[in-house]
Amino acid sequence: MSDNNKKQQKENARRRFLRDSLSAAAGAFVLAVGLGAYQRSAQAVPARAIRPPGALPEKKFQAACLRCGQCVRACHANLLRNNDMPEMSTEGPAEVNPNASVELEPVLRLAESGNDIPTGTPYFIPRISPCRLCEDMPCVQACPSGALSEKNLLDKEKKEPSIYQARMGLAVLINHENCIGFQGLRCDVCYRNCPVIDKALTLDMQVNQRTGVHTRFIPTVHSEHCTGCGKCERSCILEHPAIKVLPLALARGELGHHYRLGWQEKEEAGKSLIPEALQLPARRPEELL
């Protein structure tokens, strides 16, 4: 009898344990599905949000960033705004030195909940406040996890990190139709504001076909040097900027990997890889002969 009772008790305990575990697992599953669905829908980062310098590629960044905001706190431009500026070197060109800047909008922000940027991750909006390219890289220094890292800013020639190796995005003259330079007017504002002037941004000269005698100065971005700081976008005089910084993945085209450029191959090989083009007889209409 008492043996049976014990058996029954054991059986009941086993059932209770099973029931408890199953309901816990089911509850957790419901929560996890909700979280997963929300997370998937919100994982894409909008084009207007640019990550701070030294950030890992976006996918890795989302794994690495601890959402702590220490980069935002360290951002010199943010501190300047709060009048909490630490002692800083006043060397360097005015464009680069945040002490010389009078802009008071914060640069780095943390994405708020409900924003389409992953909650708690840092970004800046170039049109509102571009990255000041501080040479001491305070945001990178502040990052505890390596989501922002000097490793991503290594100058391979000098063998030390440099803010000019930042590739936060790429400036793109996205709407030449409305660019003042394309109209044949002198503007140059984006060019003059570029911290890597004459390397990242040049003015290419073209004949102004409208007048036939003037030159058009065309702002031209060179991805090899562009840091994506966004000073060009910030300074564009249009109502909406004709030059915009876009995330690299969005901005850059990529040549098919099978593609070969004949003149490069020729230089490498020292000679053309195919027989020189045949000299065909010129065929012209009779009267031109």
- Within positions 11 to 30, which residues make up the interface with other proteins, using CB under 8 A? 20-21, 23-25, 27-29
Binding string, residues 222-241; x marks residues near other proteins by CB under 8 A: --------------------
Please give the sequence-ordered ranges of beta strands (E in DSSP) within 157-264, or none if there are none: 160-161, 170-173, 201-207, 215-221, 243-246
Residue 55 is which amino acid?
A
167 makes contact with other proteins (CB under 8 A): no
C-alpha 53/C-alpha 56 separation (Å) is 9
Residue 123 pairs in a beta bridge with 109
The one among 99, 101, 149, 235 contacting other proteins by CB under 8 A: 149
The one among 2, 4, 5, 83 contacting other proteins by CB under 8 A: 83
The Cα-based distances of 118 to 66, 92, 111, 164, 170 in angstroms read 11, 35, 7, 27, 21
With contacts defined by CB under 8 A, how many residues of the chain interact with other proteins? Answer: 52
As measured in angstroms, the least distance from the Cβ of 42 to other proteins is 7
As measured in angstroms, the least distance from the Cβ of 74 to other proteins is 8
The one among 142, 174, 218, 249 contacting other proteins by CB under 8 A: 142
64 makes contact with other proteins (CB under 8 A): yes
70 makes contact with other proteins (CB under 8 A): yes
Query: What is the dihedral angle through the alpha carbons of 200, 87, 120, 169, rounded to the nearest 10 degrees?
Result: 0
81 makes contact with other proteins (CB under 8 A): no
For 265, half-sphere exposure in the C-beta direction (CA atoms, 13 angstrom radius) is 8
- Six token digits for residue 105: 């909008």
Sign of the CA dihedral running 80, 82, 85, 86 = negative
Residue 246 pairs in a beta bridge with 170
The one among 13, 18, 44, 66 contacting other proteins by CB under 8 A: 66
C-alpha 40/C-alpha 36 separation (Å) is 6
The Cα-based distances of 90 to 29, 74, 102, 130, 134 in angstroms read 56, 18, 14, 19, 11
Binding string, residues 168-187; x marks residues near other proteins by CB under 8 A: --------------------
114 makes contact with other proteins (CB under 8 A): yes
8 makes contact with other proteins (CB under 8 A): no
Q: Which is nearer to other proteins, 97 or 121 (CB)?
A: 121
The one among 45, 49, 55, 65 contacting other proteins by CB under 8 A: 65
* Start-to-end Cα distance in the chain: 123
The one among 8, 12, 38, 272 contacting other proteins by CB under 8 A: 38
Q: Which is nearer to other proteins, 114 or 285 (CB)?
A: 114
Q: Applying CB under 8 A, which residues contact other proteins?
A: 20-21, 23-25, 27-29, 31-32, 35-36, 38-40, 42-43, 56, 59-60, 62-70, 72-74, 82-84, 109-115, 118-120, 142-147, 149
